[in-house]
Structures are given as structure tokens and as C-alpha cells.
Structure 1
Amino acid sequence: MAELILGPAGTPGTELTVETEAGALVRRSVLPGGIRVLTEAMPGQRSVAVGAWVAVGSRDETDGHHGSTHFLEHLLFKGTPRRDAMAIASAFDAVGGEANAATGKEHTCYFARVLDADQPMAVDVILDMVTSAVLDPSEFTSEREVILEELAMNEDDPGDVAHERFSAQVFGTHPLGRPIGGTPETIRDVPRNAVFEHYRRTYVPSELVVTAAGGVDHDELCSQVLSAVRSGGWDLPEGVRPAARRRAGVDLHVGASGDFPTDPSVLTVHRATEQANVLLGGLGLPAGDERRFELSVLNAVLGGSMSSRLFQEVREKRGLAYAVYSFSGGFADAGMFGLYAGCAPGKVEQVVDLLEEQWQLLASDLVPVQELERGIGQVCGQMVLGLEDNGSRMSRLGRTEISTGELLTVTETLDRVRAVRADDVRALAADLLAQPRHLTVVGPFDTAYRGQGRLEKGREA
């Protein structure tokens, strides 16, 4: 089966259909107003996962609006002219369903999982929230306090602090370096009218993507979506194209505006913890990069499992850490790659040396055949097992439509992963290693961490 190329944006009335594995059927339609609807019908499923995606994330916020995207995620559950917060919550509880939302740097998603018979209710409630949120001033004030508590909770988690500061180091002044939820300062300062303005500017039909997977009928879902958004007062003129996808292909080394760091940095964050959290890495691959399959295998070999190099060298052989792994994250025009370990404060330098050593070995020597095959097998198995869940399938449709527009079948993806060779892994590891490397250390340090031969940078209280 050839890959389903969703196209740059699509034209109104566009209809694409492709049959995938086990009789599953993927369909995509562009509705009036530029709304996109994608479904994956899975035979035998009695439940359906449905999501309403807006291709707007924290990186799209302007000055004075930082934190608005995440603020909206909270506020949309607080009520519409048709439903108050209790009615929204009880609608899903009454049928044993689940509903939630997530804000990212490039999108926001409101999603639910219900029995197939309850799909009309789920679509109606979610799209009522998306199109008709009241953003009541009193609710705004109380929810501001909730979000400040959420940010405080995150600041109490040294692992969260390490990852947040590391992201800021890697992306610098680029909007990708900002925290998704904003900061306590920006949340305290942002006025309701700024969040409302952000809502009206970004929550529009051409940005809306509705996806569903499981026991779903595509035509029925399209009809339900049109009915719900019209009830919410959205105007849906004919002939409107969906919003264009973000521009990809920006140079890996420097951001579009030249605001990614070009020099390595070391950041020490003081926290009165028993353990130090260490992150080492830098820029990675954009989400649509052809080498993303090689990156998945590289991650598996380096730090993706109990048999990975980092786990064996740092934990099993030396007992220096309980948690140790490698990770990656991709966006439209950039990505990041890193290695993490949690260790005793006195072992930080030894652990950092081991992280660097294993990364360098991967960049200089070919991965042995048996180790490569094990990494490929891990990636393939985890992917297939993950897609057994219709929520994962729903998310895959949304992320693909918003980011790359290239939807591969499971078989095609497995073929791409199995085509990865040892030379590919070595070359990619070397390319990643050549980027400016940043080190974040969070722990009970009174002075800036200073490793042998490494820069000493500022300490953050």
C-alpha cells in the first residue's frame, strides 16, 4: 500500500481514502471553512477516540500572551452558553467515558474516549467547548490560581525542572525554548482580554482538525462536526482552504531567525534534593526529517531499554543511577536530542563522562549486527503494540495532519525502520554530536557545576 500523502493543505471537498492493515480504513475530508476530518475505522471496536486539534501551540504566542495557549486549555472546560463546567464533566462521567486536553508547543488537543454509541455526545461537547467558550472573568481569576499551583508543582519536581531548563538552553530565545505553561510571572500578568484575543485569533475553522479512531463512521462524524460547529456560531464559507502547515526544512544548526545557541552552555540549578538530575544534549531532527527512523533505532541502542548502552554502562555495571535514558523531540523546523541520568550529587562528573563516552562511541564505531537487530526489533515491537490502542491511532492522525502530512501504514513504517543500517546510526550520532552540546544539572549545589574541560556558566537559584 502506497503512503497516504495528505497534501500541503487540501482543497474544500477533498476526499482521500486508504485501506490499512487488518481491514482498517483511513479517510480524510476537507469540510466548509477549511475544517479537516480524519478517521481510522477499526473493525470490531466498540469504542471510539475522538480529538479536536487546533494547530496552535505555545510557540505561536506573541508578547503579552505567553501562557495563553495552556490557559485556554483549562478555561475551555469551565463552560459555554449551553453547558457549565459540571455539565461538561458529567456528560462523560455518565457514560463511563474519559475526556482531557493537552497543550504542546505546536498544537492543542481536546480529546475523549467513549463507547461508539456515545460518539455524537462526545463530538458535540468537545466542539461546543472549542467554538463557544465563555471565558468568564470570575472563572478566569480562579483558574489563574490553579495554573499557578500547577507551575509550582512542576517546579517542585527536579526532573521537570531539568527538562524545562534544558529545552531553554537548546532553543535559546527561539519560541520553542519557552515553557508551554508560561511562567508564574507571565500567568500573573496576562489579562483576560489577552487570552480572549488569543482564543478568537487562533480558534478558527481553518486551524481545526478533528480525528477519530475505533468504531467510527466517517460520514456520520463529518455531519456531526458540521452540526456542532455551526451550533457554536462559526461561519463556514465554501471554498476556504485549511491553514498551511508550518514551514519545514530550516537549517538544523541555526533557527529561522538565527536565535538558536551556537555555543555550548552549562547550567546549574540549585534544588535541595537528594539526587542530581543531569541532561546532556543539543539540537536534534525536525519531525519530518527522513532520518527520523534512524533516530528511533539510535535511541533504542543508546538509551531506550534495559539492554541499551546507557542502562548497561551507567546502571548495571557501575550502579551510578536508577533512571538513565536517551530521548528526542521533533517539531516542524527543529528538534532536540538528549541523554538523562539521575545520580548522587557526588557522582555527576563521572556520570557526565559516561554519557559523553557512550555517545562518542556510537558516533565513531559501527553498531554490531546483533545489537542493531535488537534495537530495530524494539522499535518495531513498541510501535505496533502502541497502535493497538485507538487513542494512539487518533493521535497519530492528528499529529500527522498538523505536522508532516505524510501518513505511512504500519507496514511501511516497519519497512523504513528495518532498512536502517549500522552506517546510518553512526553517521547520525556523529551529526548530533557535532551540534553545540548543552549540559543541565539540577541538584543541591551551592556553586555552578564545573566538569573537567567544560565551561562554567551561571548558577540558577
Structure 2
Amino acid sequence: MTTGAVPLPLDVPELSIGTVAEGLVRRTILPSGVRVLTEHVPGSRSATIGYWIGAGSRDELGAVDGLPSRHGSTHFLEHLLFKGTPSRTALDIAISFDSVGGEHNAVTSKEYTCYYAKVRDADLPMAVSVLSDMVTSSLLDPIEFENERGVILEELAMAEDDGGDLVGEKIFEAVLAGHPLGRPVGGTPDAIRAVTRDAVWQHYAAGYRPNDLIVSAAGAVDHDELVCAVEASLRLSSWDLDTPAAPRPRRSTTAWTPGEIAPVTVVRKPTEQASVMVGMPGIVAGDDRRTTMAVLNSVFGGGMSSRLFQEVREKRGLAYSVYSYAASYSDAGVFMMAAGCTPGRESTVTELMLAELRRLADDGITADELDRAHGQLSGSAALALEDSDTRMSRLGRAELTLGEFVDLDESVRRLNAVSRDDVQRLARELADGPMGIAAVGPVDADAFSPAVTV
């Protein structure tokens, strides 16, 4: 049995990881570069499977050398891959899963796209067949393309009406200004209106190849059977599986140096609440301090006992929703604190959030807070693994981003190794660095005093 973090080198075609308290994890790299990872969970009667492509919104090329911009292509593909292949209509795809009580969907992010399904163990071969067909052989039908353009614009309009969603996009644009990660995952309305089918097809052809694909599955799954099923289903497509290829290299982890951050970004809207976020550069996904960041976030704004929740909501009643979170990518990261409040209170709430961050940096956390964070994070990690969806995602992200598999025991060990000094050092780095404020609602930029925009 293996404990600790297990590397996932791209030049080792077969790996088997037997953990102390969990199921068997295996990985096979096919000669074409396709990677298949499984985690067999004893006693499970269902399985979750995901087809991961390491292409997200950050990979969309802009207009260059006379070629049209591909911005918005990732979101388009998330929709269009469900709209039919030479052998299946959109209705066929939907019926395949509905008729067995399965779930299927997709998620688009800044660095990857995942098409996934959850089915009974007996229906896993069907899920492999359908997902393989979708990922490799989408028609990107011109009529469906224009239909989905309208659907995506409606989706973006819905998000535009949500102050919390909109302020999140604005703070990302501010903190990651000049980096492709700063662009909205779903594209802007202007980008969606302008992108052509040819541009989306070019994005599809460039990022959806055998050595780009990772298939991960967890639950009632037999590894060898799944590998055979994946390879057989892919051979029915136009993909070349006979030409040997190495898996696509993982992204560079060299940290990006942030530029100047706009102090205040305001979008005036006649909403009932003002949505406010304070954002600053965080840490990259591979940073050894990512567990420290998790502890810091737990104490600061990660739950009902957190400092932000207690200070802003419980003691003062200034907001219903107040929290913090961290997002990490291969070469950049962000740390955010957010609140929704009555217009006119946005400056006070922002001052309080900044004051709490400064207090965390100056005074650190208590021993009780550290113990609560350890308990919250280790408990939530254990509970999450009761779900095959989480196990499937853990495999996919480990292979795609980190290049190592970390079991629950190792995760808990890393959590317990985080000290109060570790948290305070990271808090100082955040508090002393550049930051910006974004607000959406009936708010003016001058509502934020110079003391707030430190």
C-alpha cells in the first residue's frame, strides 16, 4: 500500500496506487497519448466518468495574422458537443442518459473543459460510447451554432443580472489584468456575437486530440475493461490512434508577475443590493503553501464561524452573504473577499473586510481557530469522498494540473502540518500586496474613501 503524494510522470505508461484507506487507483497511457485513470470503490453500484480536455478560456487565441478571434470558443464547444455527431442527434444523446436515469453535463473553466456522466455500473459502457462520440466527432452544425449563440447570450444576460456573478468577473479582470486568465470563462457578449463557426472549429481542432484527452472514472469501475472500452470507442472516430504520441505536457508553473491593479472598478446598476469584492494576487496551484491558504481561508471567511462572517454579519448585521475564497491556476492565483449589502454600506463593509485581513496579518490566528480549521477541512474532505463525482474530479485534476495523486491521509497530514506562523506569513503577503475593489449596484467609485483603497 502507498501513502503520501504519488507522482504521475508522463513517461510511465502504467501506474497502480493502492492507498491505505481508499480504493485502488490505476493509470494507463495509451500509445496515442490518451490517459485513463480509475479509482475502484468497493461496494459502489454507480460510476462517474469524465472526459477532460486541457483547453479552457485562457487558451482562446485573439485575432492575429488575419485570423478571426477565438474568444468565446470554449463556451461554445461546451454547448455544441451535446448537439450531435454523425451517428447521434442531440435528442439521441439526451435519451441515452435519460432512459437509464443517468446524469450528464459539462463544466468549462479557465484551464480545462470536462464532459461527464454519472450512471449505474451496468450503463458505464453506454456512457463511454456517447461521451467518446461527443468529444471526438461533434458536427458543430452551422444551424445549431447560431441557435446556441442565442442561448449563450441569454445565459450571459442572466449572469449579468446577478450582481455577485458580475462583480466576480470584474475583480478577476482587475487582479489578472493583462493575463488570459482575466477574461471571463463564458466570453463577453461582444465576443460571443463576433466569433465565427470557423474560429470555434479551429479551437476544437487544436485542443481536442488524442494526447489532449484524459479520461477519469471512479466508483464501480474495472480499470482494464474501461481502458478497452475507451480505446474501442475512440477508434470509431476520425482520431488517429495509431500514431504514437506523448501526452500533452502540463502547463508551465512559472508564476506570472501581476501588473498594476485598478484601485476601484464600479458597474452602476439599479439593484437592491451592492455587491462588493476585494481581490489580490494569490498563489499558483502547485505552490507548497496551498494547504496553508486553505487554512487561512477557513479561518478568515470560509464558514459561519469565520472572522468575516462573525464581524460583518453576526456582530453588525451589515450583510447576509459575506465570505472569502482562493482560486489557483497553473501560473497565477487570486484571493478574494466578498459581501452583498444595502447600498450606502459598501464602504463600511469594505473597510471592515480590509481591517480583518490586516488584523490577521498583524496578530495571526489563535490555537482554537487553527484546530477548527483543521477539523473543518479534514472533515469536509472525507465527506466529499463519499461521492464518486468528487473522486473522479480528484483524479482528473491531479493528472491535468498537479502531476501528483494525494490521498486523504496525506491531505490530512499536510493540514496538520500547517502552523499558526505559516498562516500569518501568508496573510502578511496578501495584506501587504497590491489589491483592488470591484462593486456592482447603485454605487459610485468615490464611495470608497482613500483609506479603503490601500
Equivalent position of 1:42 in the other structure:
41
SS at match of 1:110: strand
Query: Could you tell me whether the CA contact under 8 Å between 2:264 and 2:445 is conserved in 1?
Result: no
What CA distance in whole angstroms lies between the structure 2 residues aligned with 1:214 and 1:312?
Answer: 39
What CA distance in whole angstroms lies between the structure 2 residues aligned with 1:307 and 1:386?
Answer: 20
What CA distance in whole angstroms lies between the structure 2 residues aligned with 1:6 and 1:23?
Answer: 17
Superposition pairs of residues 132-151 of structure 1, within 5 angstroms: 132-151=137-156
Equivalent position of 1:444 in the other structure:
442
Query: Could you tell me whether the CA contact under 8 Å between 1:267 and 1:449 is conserved in 2?
Result: no
**Among residues 301, 304, 317, which one is paired with 1:306 in the alignment?**
304
Q: Which amino acid aligns with 1:51?
A: G
Equivalent position of 1:278 in the other structure:
276
User: How far off is 1:347 after superposition?
Assistant: 1.1
Equivalent position of 2:4 in the other structure:
3
Deviation digits for residues 108-159 of structure 1 (CA, Å, limit 9, x no counterpart): 0000000000000001000100000001111111111000100111101110
User: How far off is 1:32 after superposition?
Assistant: 2.1
Q: Which amino acid aligns with 1:224?
A: A
Q: Percent identity?
A: 51
User: Does 1:53 pair with 2:57?
Assistant: no
Superposition pairs of residues 5-404 of structure 1, within 5 angstroms: 5-11=6-12, 14-63=13-62, 64-251=69-256, 254=257, 260-404=258-402
Equivalent position of 1:257 in the other structure:
none
User: How far off is 1:288 after superposition?
Assistant: 1.2
Q: Which amino acid aligns with 2:85?
A: T
SS at match of 2:351: helix
Query: Could you tell me whether the CA contact under 8 Å between 1:285 and 1:336 is conserved in 2?
Result: yes
After TM superposition, which residue ranges in structure 1, 4 or more long, deviate above 4 angstroms?
none
What CA distance in whole angstroms lies between the structure 1 residues aligned with 2:5 and 2:243?
Answer: 25
What CA distance in whole angstroms lies between the structure 2 residues aligned with 1:145 and 1:332?
Answer: 32
Deviation digits for residues 346-385 of structure 1 (CA, Å, limit 9, x no counterpart): 1111111110111011111131111110111111111111
Query: Could you tell me whether the CA contact under 8 Å between 1:169 and 1:261 is conserved in 2?
Result: no
Q: Which amino acid aligns with 2:10?
A: A
SS at match of 1:149: helix
What CA distance in whole angstroms lies between the structure 2 residues aligned with 1:452 and 1:350?
Answer: 13
User: How far off is 1:334 after superposition?
Assistant: 0.8
What CA distance in whole angstroms lies between the structure 2 residues aligned with 1:162 and 1:362?
Answer: 25
Which one is further off, 125-134 or 1-10? 1-10
What CA distance in whole angstroms lies between the structure 1 residues aligned with 2:255 and 2:350?
Answer: 30
Query: Could you tell me whether the CA contact under 8 Å between 1:261 and 1:436 is conserved in 2?
Result: no
User: How far off is 1:238 after superposition?
Assistant: 5.0
What CA distance in whole angstroms lies between the structure 2 residues aligned with 1:368 and 1:271?
Answer: 40
User: How far off is 1:101 after superposition?
Assistant: 0.2
What CA distance in whole angstroms lies between the structure 2 residues aligned with 1:125 and 1:360?
Answer: 52
What CA distance in whole angstroms lies between the structure 1 residues aligned with 2:403 and 2:172?
Answer: 26
SS at match of 1:173: coil
Q: Which amino acid aligns with 1:425?
A: V
User: How far off is 1:4 after superposition?
Assistant: 4.8
What CA distance in whole angstroms lies between the structure 2 residues aligned with 1:353 and 1:446?
Answer: 16
Which 5+ residue runs of structure 1 have no aligned equivalent? 255-259, 457-461
What CA distance in whole angstroms lies between the structure 1 residues aligned with 2:224 and 2:59?
Answer: 32
What CA distance in whole angstroms lies between the structure 2 residues aligned with 1:387 and 1:78?
Answer: 32
SS at match of 1:211: strand
Q: Which amino acid aligns with 2:174?
A: Q
Which one is further off, 238-247 or 297-306? 238-247
What CA distance in whole angstroms lies between the structure 1 residues aligned with 2:149 and 2:260?
Answer: 36
User: How far off is 1:389 after superposition?
Assistant: 0.3
Please give the TM-score of this superposition, normalised by the length of structure 2: 0.96
Deviation digits for residues 181-202 of structure 1 (CA, Å, limit 9, x no counterpart): 1111111111111111111111
What CA distance in whole angstroms lies between the structure 1 residues aligned with 2:352 and 2:9?
Answer: 44
SS at match of 1:345: coil
SS at match of 1:315: helix
Which 5+ residue runs of structure 2 have no aligned equivalent? 63-68
SS at match of 2:259: coil
Cα RMSD for the two superposed structures = 1.4
Aligned length: 447
Query: Could you tell me whether the CA contact under 8 Å between 1:441 and 1:449 is conserved in 2?
Result: no
Query: Could you tell me whether the CA contact under 8 Å between 1:49 and 1:113 is conserved in 2?
Result: yes
Please give the TM-score of this superposition, normalised by the length of structure 1: 0.95
Equivalent position of 1:459 in the other structure:
none
What CA distance in whole angstroms lies between the structure 2 residues aligned with 1:191 and 1:448?
Answer: 40
